[in-house]
Amino acid sequence: MQIIILENAAQVAECAADWVQALIEKKPNAVLGLATGSTPISLYHKLVSRYQDGLISFANVNTFNLDEYYDIEESNPQSYRYFMRKYLFDHVNIKLKNTFLPTCKSGQNPRVQGVMFEDKIKQLNGIDLQILGIGANGHIGFNEPTSSLASRTRIKTLTKQTLTDNSRLFNQNERQPNMAMTMGIGTIMDARYVLLMATGKNKAEAVNQMITGPLSANCPASVLQQHENAVILLDREAANALEDKGYFL
Ligand code: GLP
């Protein structure tokens, strides 16, 4: 695990954008793993502005998102497809047919949908760089605490804490889904590089658990201790609970 502690969230986004740009320069048909949530929004802003400045092209890039709510229409502003279009896809030259999310509508079989998503990743020869955020309870994607560390793409029921954390994003009269399809922890671990972004003080405890262990399904992100190429980008607030911060500077 490479731990990089930066001053603030803007620097975290800048550094993450540098990683994505470097990958695409080296491999124009890179396969990117994408995340939703508030943390990566500033990364997507930076990628859009680099695209507008002619520094980066998504023409041959394929993407796989970590997760999507169960039985949600793409046109629903709460869907992660809508989020990705709003913050990235509609502003760069990516082909929408090259963007994949793990979807499952009512009437579809989540197991079959999960296997199809995994097969598509394999068909494109795996994910080169997976972007991750982290939940306050240590989840990655929607792999909630106690998820199998070997899990593959599947349906998950969201925990109370995640529902509460994410309720800020829903209006009072809006239905908040309590189930989602998510890449599994095993799927995430197969990515060649993993780049986890964490900012703000409400992530400090989860970040501390992820880095200083133990390796445990109670903190799914702690599995990254076993990833060969995991980079953890933190701002000062998210790094605040680490006992020996000086060691990482
Ligand atoms: C969500 C997503 C995760 C995300 C996390 C943190 O529920 N499924 O992929 O990393 O929670 O989100 P945020 O960046 O808004 O704190």
pLDDT value of position 172: 87
Q: What is the pLDDT of residues 47-70, one digit of tens each?
A: 999 999 999 999 999 999 999 999
Q: What is the pLDDT of residues 37-49, one digit of tens each?
A: 999 999 999 999 9
The confidence band for 143, taking pLDDT boundaries of 50, 70 and 90, is very high
Q: What average pLDDT does this structure show over 228-233?
A: 98
Q: Tell me the C-alpha distance between 183 and 151, whole Å.
A: 8
Atom 3 in ligand 1: residue holding the nearest Cα: 141
pLDDT of 173 > 90? The answer is no
Q: Match 């804490």 to its residue by tokens.
A: 161
- Our mutation pick for probing the ligand 1 site, out of 38, 39, 64, 199, counting the most ligand atoms within 8 A of Cβ, is 39
**Ligand 1, residues at Cβ distance < 6 Å:** 35-39, 66-67, 133-135, 141-142, 162, 166
Looking at the annotation, which residues are catalytic? Answer: 67, 137, 139, 144
Atom 12 in ligand 1: residue holding the nearest Cα: 37
pLDDT of 139 > 80? The answer is yes
The confidence band for 248, taking pLDDT boundaries of 50, 70 and 90, is confident
pLDDT value of position 231: 98
pLDDT of 249 > 80? The answer is no
Q: What is the pLDDT of residues 184-217, one digit of tens each?
A: 999 999 999 999 999 999 999 999 999 999 999 9
Q: What average pLDDT does this structure show over 132-161?
A: 96
Q: Tell me the C-alpha distance between 233 and 192, whole Å.
A: 17
Q: What is the pLDDT of residues 156-167, one digit of tens each?
A: 999 998 999 899
| Ligand 1 centroid from CA 38, angstroms | 7
pLDDT value of position 247: 83
What is the phi/psi pair of residue 68, to 5°? -160, 145
Please provide the average confidence, as pLDDT, over all residues in the chain. 96
Atom from ligand 1 closest to the CA of residue 38: 15
The confidence band for 119, taking pLDDT boundaries of 50, 70 and 90, is very high
Q: Tell me the C-alpha distance between 8 and 87, whole Å.
A: 21
Q: Tell me the C-alpha distance between 175 and 113, whole Å.
A: 23
pLDDT value of position 244: 81
Atom 6 in ligand 1: residue holding the nearest Cα: 135
pLDDT more than 70, % of the chain: 100
User: Longest C-alpha distance within the chain, in Å?
Assistant: 53
Inter-residue contact 71 to 106 (CB < 8 Å): yes
Q: Tell me the C-alpha distance between 136 and 32, whole Å.
A: 24
pLDDT value of position 226: 97
| Ligand 1 centroid from CA 37, angstroms | 4
